[in-house]
């Protein structure tokens, strides 16, 4: 008897994941070719959330541009505010008072916590652990309460402006924040017990969606995605802005490059953010929070480029001025956009279920991709 092996193939199936799929995190469409449950190819289709924000900004004075950045990365809008605020300051030669700088760092780190908590919740939900979602949102709600006390809004804060921060901290903010951080340590431990050690979670994350170091560099990955692939690259360290150079914190780096590494980087970053927040509260000097900008702000002709570390990665803003009231060009380097570019290279060969895990671990925000 002879044994012949024939390869079983089936005609491919094209599956449209999104834009209304429950876990594409916004309106992303992935056109995947399937063979059974295995991905043959993947093509991300973006643009469902395009609002022409950059063009809108060009038609408006500098000061008016800041609230639009809230709509870029809506999970960390303070970080997006910071990108354009820094660019405007650079182009107009504005120096931010020291207390303003501390406040900015404080607000950005609080927002980073909130954003990473959303990641944690959605990532866990993508893998089927819905409970973690509600726990992490419970904690996030308290962060939002704090931010509401500071800025008055819960999602689109618009509270980091060119020149600083418009108001000082409200009464009793420091105590509330410290109390929250004390409890947050325990909450993080709880997430660890629920997820990190969990055998199923590990099976779903370890070795899945591996991004090699070379690939991360080649595709321009940054932030937790790059750090999960063993690249110790954090703008807060390599090109410190505001008062990050005075802060003591570690940049967590994992070399595996898989979903688990990215997850761990973010969880570890939350602990580091808590550290930075405590330092800020401790060391913040008294003084002005905002530099006075002239009523009619006309920066000299030229260009400016700012680099910031948003929760998703390197968020940069390019501005050019011709000396008039409005910028002539505004451009954002949105980290999520580059991370989406990784998908066609990463997905072929994985299972449908892993698509969700990988997409979740990249933690993209479509508001930032489509702009």
Query: Interface residues with other proteins (CB under 8 A)?
Result: 13, 15, 21-23, 37, 60, 63-68, 70, 124-131, 134-135, 138, 141, 145, 148-153, 156, 158, 166-167, 170, 182-183, 186-187, 189-190, 193-195, 197-201, 203-204, 351-356
Distance between CA atoms of residues 31 and 76, nearest Å: 28
Quote the least distance from Cβ 103 to other proteins, whole Å.
Answer: 14
**Are 339 and 354 a contacting pair, CB within 8 Å?**
no
Q: By C-beta, is 46 or 57 nearer to other proteins?
A: 57
Residue with Cβ nearer other proteins (208 or 235): 208
Closest to other proteins by CB, 137 or 239: 137
Structure tokens at 69: 């950045």
Token pair in block for residue 78: 């303070």
Give the nearest distance from C-beta 299 to other proteins in angstroms: 18
Q: Are 202 and 270 in contact (CB under 8 A)?
A: no
Q: Which two tokens stand for residue 252?
A: 């967590």
At its nearest, how many Å lie between other proteins and the CB of residue 116? 18
Report, in Å, the least distance between residue 65 CB and other proteins. Answer: 8
Output 3 or 186, the one with its CB closest to other proteins: 186
Tokens found for residue 80: 């997006």
Q: Which is nearer to other proteins, 228 or 360 (CB)?
A: 360
Smallest gap from residue 124 Cβ to other proteins (A): 7
- Closest distance of CB 14 from other proteins, Å: 8
The nearest distance, CB 145 to other proteins, in angstroms, is 8
Q: How far apart are CA 200 and CA 195, in angstroms?
A: 9
62 versus 254: smaller Cβ distance to other proteins:
62
Q: How far is the CB of 174 from other proteins (least distance, A)?
A: 15
Q: How many CA atoms lie within 13 A of 119 on its CB side?
A: 30
Angle at 119 between CA 115 and CA 124, to 5 degrees: 150
Q: Is 21 left (phi over 0), alpha (psi -120 to 50) or beta?
A: beta
Between 177 and 355, whose beta carbon lies closer to other proteins? Answer: 355
Do the Cβ atoms of 107 and 141 come closer than 8 Å?
Answer: no
The nearest distance, CB 322 to other proteins, in angstroms, is 20
- CB closer to other proteins out of 92 and 335: 92
- In terms of Cα–Cα distance, which of 216, 313, 304 is closest to 266? 313
Phi, psi of 33 (to 5 degrees): -95, 125
Please report how close the Cβ of residue 314 comes to other proteins at its closest, in angstroms: 26
Q: Locate 194 and state its tokens.
A: 């629920």
């Amino acid at each position: 008897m002879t044994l012949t092996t024939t390869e079983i193939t089936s005609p491919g199936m094209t599956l449209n994941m999104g834009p209304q799929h429950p876990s594409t995190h916004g309106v992303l469409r992935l056109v995947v070719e399937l063979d059974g449950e295995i991905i043959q190819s993947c093509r991300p289709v973006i643009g469902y959330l395009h609002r022409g924000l950059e063009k809108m900004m060009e038609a408006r004075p500098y000061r008016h541009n800041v609230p639009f950045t809230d709509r870029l990365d809506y999970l960390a809008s303070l970080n997006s505010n910071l990108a354009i605020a820094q660019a405007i300051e650079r182009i107009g030669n504005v120096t931010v008072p020291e207390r303003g700088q501390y406040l900015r760092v404080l607000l950005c780190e609080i927002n980073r916590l909130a954003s990473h908590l959303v990641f944690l919740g959605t990532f866990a939900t993508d893998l089927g652990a819905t409970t973690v979602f509600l726990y992490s949102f419970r904690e996030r709600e308290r962060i939002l309460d704090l931010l509401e006390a500071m800025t008055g809004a819960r999602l689109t804060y618009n509270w980091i402006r060119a020149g600083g921060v418009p108001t000082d901290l409200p009464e009793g903010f420091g105590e509330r924040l410290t109390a929250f951080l004390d409890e947050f340590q325990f909450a993080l431990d709880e997430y660890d017990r629920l997820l990190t050690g969990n055998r199923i979670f590990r099976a779903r994350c370890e070795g899945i969606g591996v991004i090699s170091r070379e690939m991360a560099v080649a595709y321009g990955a940054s932030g937790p995605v790059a750090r999960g692939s063993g690249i110790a690259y954090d703008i807060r360290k390599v090109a410190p802005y505001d008062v990050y150079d005075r802060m003591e914190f570690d940049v967590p780096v994992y070399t595996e490059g898989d979903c688990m590494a990215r997850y761990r980087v973010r969880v570890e970053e939350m602990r580091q953010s808590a550290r930075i927040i405590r330092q800020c509260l401790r060391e913040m000097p008294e003084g002005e929070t905002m530099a006075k900008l002239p009523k009619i702000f006309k920066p000299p002709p030229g260009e400016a480029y700012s680099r910031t570390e948003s929760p998703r990665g390197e968020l940069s803003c390019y501005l050019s001025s011709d000396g008039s009231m409005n910028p002539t060009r505004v451009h954002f380097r949105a980290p999520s956009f580059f991370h989406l570019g990784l998908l066609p290279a990463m997905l072929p060969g994985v299972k449908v279920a892993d698509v969700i895990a990988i997409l979740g671990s990249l933690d993209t925000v479509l508001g930032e991709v489509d702009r």
